[in-house]
Structure 1
Amino acid sequence: MSATLKLTHKTIGVEVRRGTYDVMVDGKPVGSLELNQTIDIPVNPGRHSLQVLEGRNTSRTKTFDAVDGETVSYRCSGKSVLPIFLLSFLVPSLALSLKRE
């Protein structure tokens, strides 16, 4: 059996970055995610890393443990707070965020 990684590209308020996010699990591309879309990605049980990319912008790498039959959920969004948005041009890793649900 396997576990499921559920990703949602949903925002609250003004979304600065509306583009498609490329999804990487364990350093390998596994799919893409449009605004207001949810995708389910099957993963093997164990520890995994997750990162989303949009052009030159990348999220920080998140590590999660998946248990057989479990669903691990994250919400992906661009930063919408103006100072963080402006700073993201200097530090691209601040541009995207992953929040565990």
Structure 2
Amino acid sequence: MVRKMKDSGIEWIGEIPEEWRVAQLKRFVSIISGEYLEKNKFIDNGNIDVIGANGKIGSYNKSNLNKKSIVTGRVGTIGTLYIRENVWITDNVLSIDV
């Protein structure tokens, strides 16, 4: 079966299946960056994970991300995606809410 295609209207995407539509990502998701937290504020036995670009980097006593979100690094190569809640995300991390 040959699928009917149409021009996406975006040069680098090219053709897409006829039944697809093109829309801006911001219409479907909210993306926010975390906040800077000095390492001297980390707490050895804190109950909140501090998440950096590559995962847990420490503990703290309060969170800046309280709802379940997709979390990934904002700098360097995007690595692992996490689904987390009740964590502190640093300024090297993005939270993506669908």
User: Aligning the two structures, in what range does the TM-score lie when normalised by the shorter sequence?
Assistant: under 0.3
Higher radius of gyration, 1 or 2: 2
Higher relative contact order (CA 8 A, sep 6+): 1
